[in-house]
């Protein structure tokens, strides 16, 4: 990994959707490697898909992109970034509320790891309305989420809520 420009895209990805894919693909153009790092702390976040399911779904979604890898972590994001040699944290912004949240997190991360840059990428207009929580709610109520998530994720959601 020495000499490579590595960025970390930390997220919960519950589930991964086209907005996440868009941000990752666009960010990957600027780095030798982008690690999509899925947060795995069940004490903090209640999730629909467990960590193994989220990693498997993301790995399938990104399998044809050689500069993007998928991993999971359960420590402070900045600590994981240091561990993998990342120089930047990638964040996506959809709506104004995201800016306030990401600004606070970015400033905290800067205090903890001043050598890491936080790079915010504006969501493409076609994905601004998409959020994992909205997708979960639509899917739970039997709605069609195929325009918001890759086919593998749509299948996984149908299976999850068929139980």
pLDDT in tens, 60-71: 999 999 999 999
What is the per-residue pLDDT across 31-56, written as a single tens digit (0 to 9) for each? 999 999 999 876 666 889 999 999 99
Question: Please, are residues 145 and 138 in contact by the beta-carbon 8 Å criterion?
Answer: yes
- Determine which one of 17, 54, 91, 94 is catalytic: 94
pLDDT of residue 154: 97
pLDDT of residue 1: 46
Q: Is 104 a catalytic residue?
A: no
Quote the pTM value.
Answer: 0.92
The mean per-residue pLDDT over the stretch 133-145 comes to 95
What angle, 0 to 180 degrees and rounded to 10, lies between the N-to-C axes of helices 151-162 and 132-140?
Answer: 50
pLDDT of residue 119: 95
Q: Is 17 a catalytic residue?
A: no
CATH hierarchy code of domain 6-128: 3.40.50.620
> 36 pairs with which residues across the strands?
9, 70
The mean per-residue pLDDT over the stretch 142-153 comes to 96
- Determine which one of 28, 54, 91, 132 is catalytic: 132
CA atoms within 13 A on the CB side of 119: 21
Question: Is the per-residue pLDDT at 95 higher than 90?
Answer: no
Q: Is 155 a catalytic residue?
A: no
Q: Is 72 a catalytic residue?
A: no
Q: What is the DSSP letter of 76?
A: -
């Amino acid at each position: 990994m020495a000499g490579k420009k590595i960025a970390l895209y930390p997220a919960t990805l519950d589930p991964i959707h086209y907005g996440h894919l868009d941000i990752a693909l666009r960010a990957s153009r600027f780095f030798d490697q982008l690690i999509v790092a899925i947060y795995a702390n069940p004490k903090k976040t209640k999730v629909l898909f467990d960590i193994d399911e989220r990693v498997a779904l993301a790995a399938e979604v990104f399998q044809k992109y050689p500069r993007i890898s998928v991993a999971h972590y359960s420590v402070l994001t900045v600590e994981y970034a240091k561990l993998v040699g990342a120089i930047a944290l990638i964040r996506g912004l959809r709506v104004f509320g995201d800016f306030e949240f990401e600004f606070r997190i970015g400033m905290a991360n800067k205090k903890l790891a001043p050598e890491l840059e936080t790079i915010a990428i504006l969501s493409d207009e076609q994905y601004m309305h998409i959020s994992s929580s909205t997708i979960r709610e639509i899917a739970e109520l039997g709605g069609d989420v195929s325009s918001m998530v890759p086919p593998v994720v749509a299948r996984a959601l149908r299976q999850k809520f068929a139980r």
